[in-house]
Structure 1
Amino acid sequence: MGSVLGIGSQPTLCKSPACSKYHERVRTQGEQLQQLQAELDKLHKEVSSVRTANSERVAKLVFQRLNEDFVRKPDYALSSVGASIDLEKTSRDYEDANSAYFWNHFSFWNYARPPTVILEPDVFPGNCWAFEGDQGQVVIRLPGRVQLTDITLQHPPPSVAHSGGAKSAPRSFQVYGLQVDDETEVFLGKFTFDVEKSEIQTFHLQNDPPTAFPKVKIQILSNWGHPHFTCLYRVRAHGMRSSEEAGDSATGGPN
């Protein structure tokens, strides 16, 4: 009869070459699995970190974009509230012999946009008023007399602006309030629109003592390098609308 293992006896280990190779292969594969698991854990942490960072970045950009356009000031340079363009005092539109080709080449309208486009809230690449060169002006007829406090300019960021990119954006500009005689101009400040900052920038005017004006002039002194034209997308005029009596008194008109 075969022998029986008693309590405490140790099983006989396989010591053949085949058994040794098997155990070595199992040990090696076990180490490889552990290494692979460690790499997977590391990759999982990196992916989670990237997702968190991207989520925070996207959320930040969304809130930043919402806050940028939330000026929190009434706009008296909107056509919907009665603002209009004084064409006689405004620079001529940019004209080019190949204007149709020019606009189509950049996937724009096949016709030039009038200056009234700057009084509309629809701002998207190509929907701008262009005037020739880097110097020009636009005079906005306000819906009544307004004690101007701020001016806001808007231009799409370089990443999405097609009309010459950032180069066609206004750079240095001055603001004037026009008196009721339509000739006297009151200097309200000189400013710089920085294309590296927000696409919507508000500038505080030097209107002291507060004076109500029926018109405001934006005089562009330079752009960001475009050799042929400058584009204005949107202009906003902020302040407090005066009654006719208050406007007459503030601007020196008849009582």
Structure 2
Amino acid sequence: AAIVLCRHATSARMETSCTTEISPAVRDEVIRIVDSRLEEYHADRTGKPDYALGSLGAAIASIFSTRPYTKRPAEYVPWEVLHWEHFNTPDVIIKPGIMPGECWAFEGRGYVAIQLSMPIYVSGFSLEHTPKELTPFGHIKSAPRKFSVWGLSSLEGNDEEFLGRFEFEDNGKSLQTFDAIVSEKAFHLVELMVETNHGNVEYTCLYRFRVHGRPAS
């Protein structure tokens, strides 16, 4: 509904305030461009291509020594686990979906290498967690807090390059975007290390991680 209102508002303003200043052809082109940008943003909320998206060919290359969370405590069951019909595999983080439980849960620090859909010059990352409003207790203690990212040419090589250390704010938006350290290299792999979360002592839940940039060729 919001995107439709934006379209109508844009069109109305162009009609009432710009008709004497620009030609109908220019007005229509401006409306077309605005409409295109709104569609692009609405499609994935960032307006940026995601080269870590599984449906575009990206894949989980390794989780290294990360320990998946598979416990079901006897005294209580974490609210996220209540929604797991099966324990989610790591590839859930490169798929759309942020409803409670649509995440990869792990103990302690989490490491994951993602093979991107193509080699790219990395410009940034987006990390998304289920909104507080969708959680029964109104908090997201299992959300990642501090995390770091490296660019890699291969899993076996020693040419990894540090692309930045970031913090996901629990009082911020459910989708947060971060700028990478500029590199002259193009990478086909990125490694994500989740260092801490927002207070859950048992596990961290990673919903979706995106990688932005431009193709190497």
- Same fold per superposition (TM over 0.5): yes
Alpha-carbon distance between aligned partners in 1 of 2:85 and 2:199, rounded to the nearest angstrom: 24
- Which residue pairs with 1:159 in the alignment? 133
Could you say if the C-alpha distance between residues 206 and 174 of structure 1 is closer, same or farther in structure 2, counting changes exceeding 3 Å?
A: same
CA contact (8 A) 2:126 2:177 kept: yes
Alpha-carbon distance between aligned partners in 1 of 2:149 and 2:57, rounded to the nearest angstrom: 20
CA contact (8 A) 1:73 1:238 kept: yes
CA-to-partner distance for each residue in 1:171-209, whole Å, 9 max, x for gaps? 01111001246432100011100010110000000023x
Alpha-carbon distance between aligned partners in 2 of 1:152 and 1:202, rounded to the nearest angstrom: 4
- Which residue pairs with 1:96 in the alignment? 71
Alpha-carbon distance between aligned partners in 2 of 1:164 and 1:232, rounded to the nearest angstrom: 17
Could you say if the C-alpha distance between residues 167 and 181 of structure 1 is closer, same or farther in structure 2, counting changes exceeding 3 Å?
A: closer
Bigger proportion of residues as strand: 2
Q: TM-score, normalised by structure 2?
A: 0.72
- Which residue pairs with 2:27 in the alignment? none
2:142 paired with 1:168? yes
Could you say if the C-alpha distance between residues 90 and 83 of structure 1 is closer, same or farther in structure 2, counting changes exceeding 3 Å?
A: farther
Please, what is the CA RMSD of the aligned residues? 2.7
- Which residue pairs with 2:93 in the alignment? 118
Does 1 or 2 have the higher relative contact order (CA < 8 Å, sep 6+)?
Answer: 2
Q: TM-score, normalised by structure 1?
A: 0.62
SS of the equivalent of 1:168 reads: coil
- Which residue pairs with 2:20 in the alignment? none
- Which residue pairs with 2:50 in the alignment? 75
Unaligned runs of 5+ in 1: 1-62, 244-255
- Which residue pairs with 1:234 in the alignment? 208
Following TM superposition, by how much is the alpha carbon of 1:123 offset from its aligned partner in structure 2, in angstroms?
1.8
Could you say if the C-alpha distance between residues 106 and 145 of structure 1 is closer, same or farther in structure 2, counting changes exceeding 3 Å?
A: closer
Could you say if the C-alpha distance between residues 230 and 105 of structure 1 is closer, same or farther in structure 2, counting changes exceeding 3 Å?
A: closer
CA contact (8 A) 2:89 2:104 kept: yes
Unaligned runs of 5+ in 2: 1-37
2:115 paired with 1:141? yes
CA contact (8 A) 1:82 1:142 kept: yes
Bigger proportion of residues as helix: 1
CA contact (8 A) 1:164 1:226 kept: no
Alpha-carbon distance between aligned partners in 2 of 1:230 and 1:96, rounded to the nearest angstrom: 13
Between Structure 1 and Structure 2, whose CA radius of gyration is higher?
1
Alpha-carbon distance between aligned partners in 1 of 2:91 and 2:156, rounded to the nearest angstrom: 20
